Amino acid sequence: MSRVLIVAVERITGERFQEALGQRGYQTAVVWNPVQMVEFCRQHTPDFIVIDLDLAEHGLWSAVQAVKGIGMLANIPFFGLSSTEHAGVLEKANAAGFCSVFPTHKGTQSVLSALEGHVGEENSLEEEIEPIEVGRDPSLNRLRELAREIINMTVSLKAHLYEYGEDGPELFGYIEDAGIAIRKKLNPVEEFSLHDQELRHDFRNLIGSVTGFAELILMEPGVSPIPAQGMTRLREWSREFVNILDEQKADAKA
């Protein structure tokens, strides 16, 4: 279930998009200004943000950058809604990395189509089973294998989402996001570069999300044996991932 944050000026706009997205199975929340958007994103992790560009004069652009500076939200897709075709606003939206901008009063279907396109891309990424390219760095090879195992496991565990408690969908979403972020971050890593302290720190934070949120879900009384075993495997793979990072840290100091 993808999570969409809607940032609207007018209540009728926010409610219209929330209703349309909800009918398609999206989990939604609505806030009414850029400050609320940043505060929300510091506490939650939406998959997409839809913003009314009529907020451009209310600190919108700095708020967008602030959101992109929050951990796993660095690459979150932004979609804009605009009541006018003001060239300056559209240029700023493009410069800020917005995926698309749609007319506020006619853009419901366009936004739905755009979101579904992105969800399809993420799903194809999750289901990818191509062989991992094996290089000369055994530690990096194993981390990539672990990342694939984690993502494949989250795909199978998603069928049990209803067992994970009231906050389960959000907690499980964090695990999904972390697994995908780990693989994306591992792809361009050069061989024998894991001695870099900052790089290891980034991976520790991401894998920590997998471990921590899996442990929280395991505390739910309604989790049946099959997903419980899957969550336990996630914790085991996370522990191995951290052990490899520790080995690289020791090698860097040697």
Residue 130 scores a pLDDT above 60: no
Positive/negative CA dihedral, 95, 74, 48, 52: negative
Is the entire prediction scored with pTM above 0.85? no
Average pLDDT, the chain: 87
Positive/negative CA dihedral, 153, 155, 160, 162: positive
Residue range 139-189, pLDDT digits in tens: 999 999 999 999 989 888 877 877 888 888 889 989 989 999 999 889 888
Most confidently predicted of 64-68, 90-94, 117-121, 246-250: 64-68
pLDDT at position 122 is 58
- Residue matched to tokens 């055994």: 138
- Map residue 100 onto helix, strand or coil: strand
Between CA 9 and CA 205 the distance in angstroms is 35
Percentage of residues of the chain with pLDDT beyond 90: 46
Q: In the beta sheet, which residues pair with residue 30?
A: 6
Question: In this structure, are residues 60 and 96 in contact, taking their beta carbons and an 8 Å threshold?
Answer: no
Residue range 188-215, pLDDT digits in tens: 888 878 888 888 999 999 999 999 999 9
Residue range 34-54, pLDDT digits in tens: 999 999 998 888 989 999 999
Residue range 86-109, pLDDT digits in tens: 778 888 998 898 988 888 877 688
**List of long-range contacts for 28-36, beta carbons under 8 Å, 24+ apart:** 28/3, 28/4, 29/3, 29/4, 29/5, 30/5, 30/6, 31/5, 31/6, 31/7, 32/7, 32/8, 33/7, 33/58, 34/7, 34/58, 34/59, 34/60, 34/62, 34/63, 34/64, 35/59, 35/63, 36/7
Between CA 145 and CA 143 the distance in angstroms is 5
Residue 125 scores a pLDDT above 60: no
Helix-, strand-, coil-residue percentages of the chain, each rounded to 5? 65, 10, 25
Question: In this structure, are residues 32 and 60 in contact, taking their beta carbons and an 8 Å threshold?
Answer: no
Residues 216-223: what's their mean pLDDT? 92
- Which among 89, 80, 86 is positioned nearest to 107, based on CA atoms? 80
Strands 78-82 and 27-31: unpaired
CA-based end-to-end distance of the chain: 46
Between CA 65 and CA 190 the distance in angstroms is 28
Question: In this structure, are residues 186 and 245 in contact, taking their beta carbons and an 8 Å threshold?
Answer: no
Q: Predicted confidence band at 123 (pLDDT cuts at 50, 70, 90)? A: low
Q: Predicted confidence band at 254 (pLDDT cuts at 50, 70, 90)? A: low
Q: Identify the structural domains of the chain with CATH numbers, from first to last.
A: 3-123 (3.40.50.2300), 129-253 (1.20.120)
pLDDT at position 245 is 93
Tokens of 207: 């894998």
Residue range 8-41, pLDDT digits in tens: 999 999 999 999 998 888 889 999 999 999 999 9
pLDDT at position 90 is 85
Between CA 152 and CA 179 the distance in angstroms is 9
